Amino acid sequence: MIYPKHILCITCEKCYELGIQMGVYPATFQFECKDCKTPISGEVKFEPFELILKNATELNEEAPNYQKYTKLPIWRLDVSSEFPTNKLYLKETVIDGILSSPFLNQAMRLDKLKSDSEYGGVTEISKAMKFADFVTEGKFNNILRLFNLFWNKQEKYLYRDLKKLLDENKHLTPFREVKNVSDATMVLHQMFLTTSGISNILGNGILAEYTSLAKKIYSSEEHRDEIIRYIDHIESGFDTVERKAFEILETFSSIYSIMIPVVTLLNSNGYNRLDQASSGVSAANYKKLNDFYASSYEWILDNINLVIALNNIFVRNGYDNCCNGRSYHNNLESIPSKFNKVNQYNPGQAYLDVSEPFSKPVNNLNNKIRNAIQHFSSQVDYDNQKIIFEDRHQGRVRQEEYSIVDFIKICLANFSLIIYILEIIYTFRKLKFINYGITPSIYWIKNEEISKVMSDDEVKDNFQRKLKNRINKKRRK
């Protein structure tokens, strides 16, 4: 449903039409007045509906000269958070904007479901919205609170509140209570990944791929001693690394709703069907996007060492043995420019070989963009929804231009790398617990409980099913 509104520039009273797609999440917009160049911006909130304007006033139908102000042709801007929208365009006929909407246009770009007559994009849109719901319902903030209890070693409150979370999500994990730090680590991790909808942001099969690589680390007997030796070298910083990651994810969560259109397109193979000459995503939040990109860029380059070390261990049998004949201790840890860890423009000098087993694509890590953001040398074209990054280096100015849609895409790639590295840290924590002799309490199963479960023909819940499968698997060995 489209809700039309007319607004007047506060400077010259030029009239604009807003085509507001009714939705769930607040939608922001910004453009420049065509006559006087005044920047006009606003936010639309729903339930209850509210239009907040800056440098413009709302024009009601009862206002004098309403017909004169709204006479065609008129400049129109579609507004939506969940879907790509038409950029500012000149509406010349009454039917312009009536026969289409951001929702319908998005649905037309996406594949149809094989088993459904509706557009497959409806399912992808719903999946992409899950993390936004997780945020607006306060669940992300609650997970962050629980992680803070974990980092601050507040076991009394952490175990109690994790038990409440388990009671609310019995179908998601075999855990029923939290008895030690190993339980707390696993439950926190599982609850975050399974309740947040993060897998929908990462894309089809990506989280499973990360989990598979984590299992490779966890189950490697050949490299176990060297992995433990590496963990001993870095584990004192795990809490700090995770804290900083979640600060960055908090920034991500505050702007995620504007990323929903891009997540939907990427996950439904419809990204290249978006005509970016005429459609896109509002540039109103570009500063927050910049902040997320710059902070995630720094965090990834600070912690990509974990990926490099794993490649060293599994390819060259020692975490100190970097590719290109360098040393983790003597070279990597004292590298002058962090970007050279992953510099694919000069792979002979890089420490990350993208062909090695734990590597991920790093083309999204662009030092020119980072430099431009850090030195406040970026500017935005609101009407065309583009950001121009200027990197000034040794008297030269190098420009990188991105549409907001393409910039969101590389921000999502950064997000994916953060989750990947956090998955590695989680795996390292589990390995170290085993090394300390701390095991999850789900493995503390009394003989009588095993007998009861195995003798019961009816599986009563997911916990019993998993337990039965685990026991049968062990008995077959």
What would the pLDDT profile of 66-101 be if each residue is shown by its tens digit? 999 999 999 999 999 999 999 999 999 888 777 778
- Domain borders along the chain are 2-109, 130-304+362-436, 451-476
Cβ atoms 146, 188 nearer than 8 A? yes
Q: How far apart are CA 67 and CA 60, in angstroms?
A: 11
Q: How far apart are CA 452 and CA 445, in angstroms?
A: 11
Averaged pLDDT of the chain: 90
Q: From 271, 296, 332, select the one nearest 422 (Cα to Cα).
A: 296
Q: How far apart are CA 204 and CA 240, in angstroms?
A: 30
Cβ atoms 199, 206 nearer than 8 A? yes
- Residues with Cβ within 8 Å of 104's Cβ and at least 6 positions away in sequence, in order, are none
Which tokens go with 58?
């709302």
3-state secondary structure of 327: strand
Cβ atoms 158, 166 nearer than 8 A? no
pLDDT at 374 over 50: yes
Q: How far apart are CA 298 and CA 338, in angstroms?
A: 8
pLDDT classification of 120: cutoffs 50, 70, 90: low
- Tens-digit pLDDT profile for residues 137-188: 999 999 999 999 999 999 999 999 999 999 999 888 888 899 999 999 999 9
Cβ atoms 76, 97 nearer than 8 A? yes
Angle (CA) 129 104 19, round 5°: 90
**Burial label, 130 (beta-carbon count in 10 A; 0-12, 13-18, 19+):** middle
74-79 and 15-21 beta bridge pairing: parallel
Which tokens go with 84?
């790509």
3-state secondary structure of 280: strand
Q: How far apart are CA 60 and CA 62, in angstroms?
A: 5
Which tokens go with 153?
């070693």
Q: Which residues pair with 119 in a beta bridge?
A: 112
Q: How far apart are CA 282 and CA 79, in angstroms?
A: 8
pLDDT classification of 108: cutoffs 50, 70, 90: confident
Q: How far apart are CA 452 and CA 17, in angstroms?
A: 69
In this prediction, residue 391 carries a pLDDT of: 82
Cβ atoms 423, 306 nearer than 8 A? no
3-state secondary structure of 201: helix
Cβ atoms 442, 185 nearer than 8 A? no
Which tokens go with 169?
């999500």
Highest-confidence range of 1-10, 102-111, 343-352, 387-396, by mean pLDDT?
1-10
| Residue 48, preceding peptide bond in cis (omega within 30° of 0) | yes
Q: How big is the chain by its Cα radius of gyration, in Å?
A: 26
Give the strand order in the sheet containing 2-9.
56-59, 2-9, 15-21, 74-79, 89-91
pLDDT classification of 378: cutoffs 50, 70, 90: confident
Residue range 404-426: average pLDDT?
Answer: 98
Residue-wise over 216-247: b if at least 16 C-beta within 10 A, else e?
Answer: ebeeeeebbebbbebbeebeeebeebbebbbe
Which tokens go with 190?
């599982």
- Tens-digit pLDDT profile for residues 230-274: 999 999 999 999 999 999 999 999 999 999 999 999 998 889 999
| Residue 64, preceding peptide bond in cis (omega within 30° of 0) | no
In this prediction, residue 446 carries a pLDDT of: 45
Q: How far apart are CA 197 and CA 134, in angstroms?
A: 8
Q: From 363, 458, 457, 369, select the one nearest 414 (Cα to Cα).
A: 363
- Tens-digit pLDDT profile for residues 280-321: 999 999 999 999 999 999 999 999 999 999 999 999 999 999
In this prediction, residue 381 carries a pLDDT of: 93
Sign (positive/negative) of CA torsion 257, 261, 264, 267? negative
Residue range 19-44: average pLDDT?
Answer: 96
Residue range 200-212: average pLDDT?
Answer: 94
Q: What is the DSSP letter of 420?
A: H
Q: From 23, 37, 221, select the one nearest 126 (Cα to Cα).
A: 23
Among 186-195, 263-272, 356-365, which is the least confidently predicted range? 263-272
In 313-466, at which residue ranges do the beta strands (DSSP E only) sit? 378-381, 386-393, 396-403
**Burial label, 73 (beta-carbon count in 10 A; 0-12, 13-18, 19+):** exposed
Could you give the residue ranges of the DSSP H alpha helices within 169-285? 181-196, 198-202, 206-219, 224-234, 238-255, 260-267
pLDDT at 112 over 50: no
| Helix, strand, coil % in the chain, rounded to nearest 5 | 55, 15, 30
